[in-house]
């Protein structure tokens, strides 16, 4: 058994009694009430999901296994001469809660290398799809197509389902998938946007380094890849991609079905697509100005025009966060160090000066501050990744780290099929005393 799986097995054994005790002895303790506006309004703030992988504080932002983003970046082992950690070591942290040693992170690098080969039929399917299919459609289709590889589904079909050990099959599926996703993403990119010139992997490199290599983008893009995948990995359980993956897995669907569904949720403009929309919005606006960087007044007018036409300002607002997203701040710090004079970075910074005041004045958005998507595109654009349709795929590779870790633990703790209860509008009116 690998160190990662061995450590994970011990953690699961230690954790299970906690869940069992809570259920058996304290199952009636109330942790949330539900109002009519929560039932109609997308269940905001209803505490009804459990995860230990990450926690999102409205004011502090995300913590991964208790660590803030700066702590994660500082404490995790890094490839030689690099500033950002091994993504593989980060996955180890998400799964086990432990900061791995450099050797343990490198064991995961090796595990992924062994599992990384994309089946030929996946390549064939991708090549058969119309080239103008959205890359997220291609990415999700590739994941779904590989469902026949699922160890979990095979063992289940063969009657080998065991409630206590089935997490191991989920773990195998998660590892196999995670190892392949960067390769699939890079293949789609090179096929669709770079004249169909896929680049062979370089297995001397870690996940971030190899991804940059397969994309055909020079260092320090490898650092961007490491940072980007880590930042986008997890945002507790209630966001659309994480919740969808968890929900589908709760039906004992395997990791391939579950992740493909989660990726489909991430593809929406109110979720992961927002990073592409930010760039589109900025470009569109700069085109109108003949390519000029706008003045503050022009920018204010553009923001108001967008709001007055009934659209949202992409990259701003959040369902849970009530301050600037630390994932935004982390990317901003990268830009301050590596591309301080880049006009697009300056424009994104100007938006930061302009948008929150306008959103406050408009008075609708509960959070006027930027989220992760407000910044992601700028860095990609700087390194030549200008095909912004592709940005959600990058988000998807990162998000897979979190949701796959989550569904492995779902199996380990035997979480049941998810099934909230619906009510009718009549019932709500009765509850409100108006009927």
271 binds ligand CMX, rule: CB under 6 A: yes
- Residue 355 host element (H or E): helix 343-362
Which residues are CB-contacts of 94 (< 8 A; sequence separation ≥ 6)?
Answer: 53, 54, 64, 65, 233, 234, 401, 402, 405
Please report how close the Cβ of residue 269 comes to ligand CMX at its closest, in angstroms.
7
Query: Which residue from 239, 260, 324, 376 is in contact with ligand CMX, where contact means CB under 6 A?
Result: 239
316 binds ligand CMX, rule: CB under 6 A: yes
- Bridge partners of 57, per DSSP, are 61
Please report how close the Cβ of residue 320 comes to ligand CMX at its closest, in angstroms.
8
Residues 320, 412, 108: CA angle, nearest 5 degrees: 85
Stretch that binds ligand CMX, among 10-18, 119-127, 168-176, 371-379 (CB under 6 A): 371-379
Please report how close the Cβ of residue 365 comes to ligand CMX at its closest, in angstroms.
4
> Of 145 and 312, which has the nearer Cβ to ligand CMX?
312
68 torsion bin: left (phi>0), alpha (psi -120 to 50), beta (else): beta
Please state the φ and ψ torsions of residue 143, each to the nearest 5 degrees. -65, -45
> Of 32 and 128, which has the nearer Cβ to ligand CMX?
32
> Of 319 and 351, which has the nearer Cβ to ligand CMX?
319
What is d(CA 199, CA 187) in angstroms, rounded to the nearest whole number? 8
Please report how close the Cβ of residue 309 comes to ligand CMX at its closest, in angstroms.
11
> Catalytic pick from 173, 254, 264, 373?
373
Q: Are 188 and 391 in contact (CB under 8 A)?
A: no
CB atoms within 10 A of CB 340: 10
In the chain, how long is the greatest CA-to-CA distance? 69
315 binds ligand CMX, rule: CB under 6 A: yes
What is d(CA 310, CA 423) in angstroms, rounded to the nearest whole number? 30
* Residue at shortest CB range from ligand CMX: 317
> Of 38 and 133, which has the nearer Cβ to ligand CMX?
38
Task: Confirm whether 33 is a catalytic residue.
Answer: no
DSSP 3-state of 31? coil
314 binds ligand CMX, rule: CB under 6 A: yes
Interaction mask 170-209, ligand CMX, x per CB under 6 A: ----------------------------------------
313 binds ligand CMX, rule: CB under 6 A: yes
272 binds ligand CMX, rule: CB under 6 A: yes
User: Read out DSSP for 382-433?
Assistant: HTT---GGGHHHHHHHHHHHHHHHHHHHHHHTT-----PPP--HHHHHHHTT
The token pair that represents 31 in the structure block: 């942790």
> Catalytic pick from 271, 325, 375, 410?
271
Q: Are 79 and 55 in contact (CB under 8 A)?
A: no
What length does the chain have? 435
Task: Confirm whether 318 is a catalytic residue.
Answer: yes
371 binds ligand CMX, rule: CB under 6 A: yes
267 binds ligand CMX, rule: CB under 6 A: no
354 binds ligand CMX, rule: CB under 6 A: no
> Catalytic pick from 318, 325, 375, 410?
318
Please state the φ and ψ torsions of residue 387, each to the nearest 5 degrees. -85, 85
Cis peptide leading into residue 220 (ω within 30°): yes
39 binds ligand CMX, rule: CB under 6 A: no
List of residues contacting ligand CMX (CB under 6 A): 235, 239, 270-272, 274, 307, 312-319, 364-367, 371-373
Question: Catalytic site residues?
Answer: 271, 318, 373
């Amino acid at each position: 058994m690998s160190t990662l799986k061995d450590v994970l097995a011990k953690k699961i054994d230690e954790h299970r009694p906690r869940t069992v005790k809570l259920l058996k002895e304290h199952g009636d303790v109330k942790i949330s009430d539900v109002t009519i506006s929560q039932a109609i309004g997308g269940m905001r703030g209803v505490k009804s999901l459990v995860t230990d992988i990450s926690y999102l504080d409205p004011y502090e932002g995300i913590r991964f296994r208790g660590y803030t983003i700066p702590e994660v970046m500082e404490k995790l082992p890094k490839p030689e001469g690099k500033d950002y950690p091994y993504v593989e070591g980060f996955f180890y942290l998400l799964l086990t809660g432990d900061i791995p040693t450099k050797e343990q992170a490198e064991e995961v690098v090796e595990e992924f290398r062994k599992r990384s080969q994309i089946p030929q039929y996946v390549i064939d399917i991708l090549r058969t799809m119309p080239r103008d299919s959205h890359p997220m459609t291609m990415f999700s289709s590739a994941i779904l197509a590989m469902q026949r590889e699922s160890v979990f589904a095979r063992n289940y079909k063969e009657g080998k389902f065991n409630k206590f050990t089935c997490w191991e099959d989920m773990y195998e599926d998660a590892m196999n998938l995670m190892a392949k996703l960067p390769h699939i993403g890079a293949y789609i990119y090179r096929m669709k946007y770079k004249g169909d010139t896929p680049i062979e992997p370089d297995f001397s490199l870690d996940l971030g380094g190899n991804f940059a290599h397969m994309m055909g983008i020079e260092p320090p893009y490898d650092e961007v890849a490491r940072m980007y995948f880590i930042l986008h990995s997890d945002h507790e359980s209630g966001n659309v991609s994480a919740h969808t993956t968890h929900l589908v897995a709760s039906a004992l669907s395997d990791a391939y079905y579950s992740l493909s569904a989660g990726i489909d949720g991430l593809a929406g403009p109110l979720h992961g697509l927002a990073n592409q929309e930010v760039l589109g919005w900025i470009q569109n606006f700069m085109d109108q100005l003949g390519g000029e960087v706008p003045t503050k007044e022009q920018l204010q007018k553009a923001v108001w025009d967008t709001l007055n036409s009934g659209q949202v300002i992409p990259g701003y607002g959040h369902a849970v966060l009530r301050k600037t997203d630390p994932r935004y701040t982390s990317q901003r710090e990268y830009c301050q160090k590596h591309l301080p004079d880049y006009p697009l970075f300056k424009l994104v910074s100007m938006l930061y000066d302009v948008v929150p005041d306008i959103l406050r004045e408009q008075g609708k958005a509960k959070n006027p501050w930027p989220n992760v998507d407000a910044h992601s595109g700028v860095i990609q654009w700087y390194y030549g990744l200008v095909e912004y349709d592709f940005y959600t795929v990058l988000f998807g590779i990162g998000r897979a780290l979190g949701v796959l870790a989550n569904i492995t633990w779902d199996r380990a703790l035997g979480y049941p099929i998810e099934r909230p209860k619906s009510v009718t509008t009549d019932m709500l009116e009765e509850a409100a005393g108006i009927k």
